[in-house]
Chain A
Amino acid sequence: MSEFIELPRWAEWLTAALVLCSSLFALSGALGLLRMKDFFQRMHPPALASTLGAWCVALASIVYFSALKEGPVLHAWLIPILLAITMPVTTLLLARAALFRKRMAGDPVPAEVSSRRNDG
């Protein structure tokens, strides 16, 4: 890594802007986690970091390495796809557990949406 490789100016600016954008979304997500009042509200803001936050970093990486290698390097986009596939697992688990606990505690959350079978 001794040799300094010159990137085109536009690629440098675009990469910097995208990374900055991504950090802004991650910051908003963290701030939301801090400021929101109840559990279900707090589930929303961190999604900013795992959606647009992650997308911007992936885009920045694509722009940077495509400019560096002078050809499209698109495989960083796999990260947002894999994130989107795995995110529902944890989110659903947390939401269901919170609903269960709040119902047990008698907090004001909607009743179960499933109607119980009569034959049981």
Chain B
Amino acid sequence: MKRLFPAPWLSLVLWGLWLLLNLSLSAGNLLLGAALAVLAPLLMAPLRPLPVRLHRPGVIIGLVLRVGADVVVSNLQVGWAVWNAGRRPPNSAFVKVPLDLRDANGLAALSMICTVIPGTVWSELALDRSILLVHVFDLADEAQFIEHFKTTYERPLMEIFE
């Protein structure tokens, strides 16, 4: 069983995804989706993905909602700054954020959050994962940005992944 399904959750999600994309529960789609769910993790195994262990589902939901709201706000800010760039050019800057999060999957999630929010671009992560270089589109106050980044995104991720 373990050999056939090295990542049971991934298999389940892939199966569900396939059925959702096709919007049908016909026998053919059930079989095709199941084949995909068995084969994909087996093909991925040589890449040696780190096993994911998630804690605190409540925190996950809170974080997703928070990021969604922040994306909307950041979209409006960047959009406004673009139309207003003639009068007031955005104050772009690189910010070095000291990180406490070390889990690779957690960092992957953090990079997703950082990229999805239009106002920030993940630029470089130190080899020892202690410093993250972020490019901020319109920076008001560096210390405040770091504080906001660490408390709203990094801390929940540490609770979820570590």
Compute the total of residue contacts between A and B using a CB distance below 8 Å.
111
**A37 and B89 alpha carbons, distance in the complex (Å):** 9
**A12 and B8 alpha carbons, distance in the complex (Å):** 42
A110 proximal to B (CB < 8 A): yes
Report chain B residues within 8 Å CB of A17. none
Report chain A residues within 8 Å CB of B78. 28, 32, 44-45, 47-48
A66 proximal to B (CB < 8 A): no
**A108 and B30 alpha carbons, distance in the complex (Å):** 55
**A→B interface (CB under 8 Å):** 25, 28-29, 31-32, 35-38, 40-41, 43-45, 47-48, 51-52, 75, 78, 84-85, 87-88, 91-92, 95-96, 99, 109-110, 112-115
- Could you list some 21 contacts between A and B, CB below 8 A? A28-B79, A29-B82, A31-B83, A40-B135, A44-B137, A47-B78, A48-B79, A51-B75, A52-B72, A75-B23, A78-B17, A78-B20, A87-B115, A87-B116, A92-B122, A95-B123, A95-B124, A96-B124, A110-B94, A110-B133, A113-B133
Question: What 4 A-B pairs come out closest when comparing CB atoms?
Answer: A47-B118, A32-B82, A114-B127, A52-B75
**A87 and B21 alpha carbons, distance in the complex (Å):** 20
**A36 and B121 alpha carbons, distance in the complex (Å):** 15
Report chain B residues within 8 Å CB of A96. 123-124
User: Which bracket fits the contact residues of B?
Assistant: 35 or more
Query: Closest residue to B81 on the A side, CB-wise?
Result: A32
Could you say which of B89, B96, B111, B116 contacts A51, with CB atoms under 8 Å apart?
A: B116
Contact A84 B112 (CB under 8 A): yes
Per-position 1/0 for B47-90, Cβ under 8 A of A: 00000000000000000000000011001001100110110011
Known: A40-B135, A44-B137. A51 touches B118 (CB 8 A): yes
B43 proximal to A (CB < 8 A): no
Report chain B residues within 8 Å CB of A88. 108, 111-112, 114-115, 122
A44-B135, A87-B112, A110-B96 known, 13 other contacts, Cβ within 8 Å: A36-B82, A43-B121, A47-B78, A47-B116, A48-B79, A78-B20, A78-B21, A87-B115, A88-B114, A92-B111, A99-B124, A113-B126, A115-B128
Query: Closest residue to B136 on the A side, CB-wise?
Result: A44
B152 proximal to A (CB < 8 A): no
Contact A40 B133 (CB under 8 A): no
Known: A28-B83, A114-B128. A75 touches B122 (CB 8 A): no
**A88 and B8 alpha carbons, distance in the complex (Å):** 25
Contact A25 B115 (CB under 8 A): no
**A55 and B44 alpha carbons, distance in the complex (Å):** 30
Contact A91 B122 (CB under 8 A): yes
Contact A41 B92 (CB under 8 A): yes
